[in-house]
Amino acid sequence: MTTSLRRVFESQPDRRYIMFGGKGGLGKTTLSATSAFWLASQGKRVLLFSVDPQASLSDIFERDIFGRGPVPIMENLWAQEVDADRRIREYQDEIRKKILDMYGFDKVPEEIDNYIAAASAEPAMEESAIFDAVVDIIVQGDYDYYIYDLVPLGHALYYLSMAKVYDEWINKITRLREDMRQYDQVAATMRREETVAEDQILGELTYIKERINASSRILTDAKRTAFFFVVVPENMIILDTKKAAALFAKFDVPISGYVVNRVLPADLTRENLPPYLRNRIAMQERYLGEINAGFGNQVLAYVPEMERDITGLPMIERLARRLFDEV
């Protein structure tokens, strides 16, 4: 058992934003929770959070956490599951309110409301609302570590291209503003005043852009952020991980290392094994060899396949011991 993951945390204390990326179901949530547990037990204040509507943190901690803000799990450890749908609705309401304030309507005109509803159904809007929630979490609070429990790889890549997505969304708002010029004129005539809204809106957009740039700087800054890839010893997963790593390089997201999960215990081989298991182990050995050839010294840990799912603190603690203690 290697303890390099521990060394990464200990030798790089400025890396306070931690993420585990990887394809679906490989163990991202498990490793996020296990690292959170270990860091908290080292006396660090840790927030483990997710924006995944699947509520996996509720599952792993066996508690209802969803949409409740940071919930204390144990000393120094909080977990938070953002209710993304609620964020999206809040977003829409905010936009409506701004339009009302800005144009002095008492009611959002139906066409504009339809427009807002349509724009909100856009993935870009959804992702922006979610990204915004993430930005809120990482710019607020006084935790030593923020561990972001990511959704599967494809989506995670999408987040990483978020700055671009956000740009599109902002362009859309700008276009909405153009569309509303006609209302501007009507409203101004009715109120007999010049509109001063232009600067206000531009100010808002600039503010949003700056926030995004600041947080995408954090997420791509190897000094402050550790991004680990979870891989398992299986052929397709290894191939996909290599492709994903290339994509991440394209987005300038530095990969801090690989964690190999679900490694069958080595002592199994000593026993009198049925052929099925013997084959599985031989296959796994071959793929471990491939992982070693492909990722080599970037592998930080080999995590054993436990005899049951990792749920509940005692199980997380057991895995943390296997993962972080010198054994």
Ligand X SMILES: Nc1ncnc2c1ncn2[C@@H]1O[C@H](COP(=O)(O)OP(=O)(O)OP(=O)(O)O)[C@@H](O)[C@H]1O
**Where do contacts with Mg ion occur on this chain (CB under 5 A)?**
28-29, 56
- Determine, following the binding rule CB under 6 A, whether residue 310 of this chain makes contact with ligand X: yes
List the one residue from 53, 141, 152, 294 that touches ligand X (CB under 6 A). Answer: 152
Q: Of these, 292, 309, 312, 325, which contacts ligand X (CB under 6 A)?
A: 309
Report the partner that residue 219 touches, choosing among Mg ion, ligand X, none (CB closer than 5 to 8 A by kind).
none
Binding ligand X (rule: CB under 6 A), the pick from 74, 157, 306, 313 is 306
303 binds ligand X (CB under 6 A): yes
What's the closest the beta carbon of residue 303 comes to ligand X, in angstroms?
5
- Give the angle subtended at the CA of 178 by the CAs of 175 and 179, to the nearest 5°: 90
Of 123 and 154, nearer to ligand X (C-beta) is 154
List, as own/partner pairs, every contact residues 294-298 make where C-beta atoms lie below 8 angstroms and the sequence separation is at least 24, other chains included.
294/238, 294/242, 295/231, 295/258, 298/255, 298/257, 298/258
Between 15 and 28, whose beta carbon lies closer to Mg ion? Answer: 28
Asked if 233 touches ligand X (CB under 6 A), the answer is no
Token pair for 104: 């002095």
Could you say whether residue 244 binds ligand X (CB under 6 A)? Answer: no
As measured in angstroms, the least distance from the Cβ of 273 to ligand X is: 19
- Residue 257, classified by CB atoms within 10 Å of its CB into exposed (0-12), middle (13-18) or buried (19+), is middle
- Is residue 26 a contact residue for ligand X (CB under 6 A)? yes
The whole-angstrom separation of Cα 301 and Cα 208 is 38
Which amino acid, 9?
Answer: F
* Burial class (CB within 10 angstroms; exposed 0-12, middle 13-18, buried 19+) of 274: exposed
Indicate the DSSP class of residue 70. S
With respect to ligand X, which residue has the nearer C-beta, 28 or 87? 28
Judged by CB under 6 A, the chain residues 39 through 58 that form the site for ligand X are 56
Helix (H, G, I), strand (E, B) or coil at 14: coil
322 burial via Cβ count (<10 Å: 0-12, 13-18, 19+):
middle
Q: Determine if 262 is a binding residue for ligand X (CB under 6 A).
A: yes
Q: Which residues bind ligand X (CB under 6 A)?
A: 22, 24-30, 56, 152, 261-262, 303, 305-306, 309-310
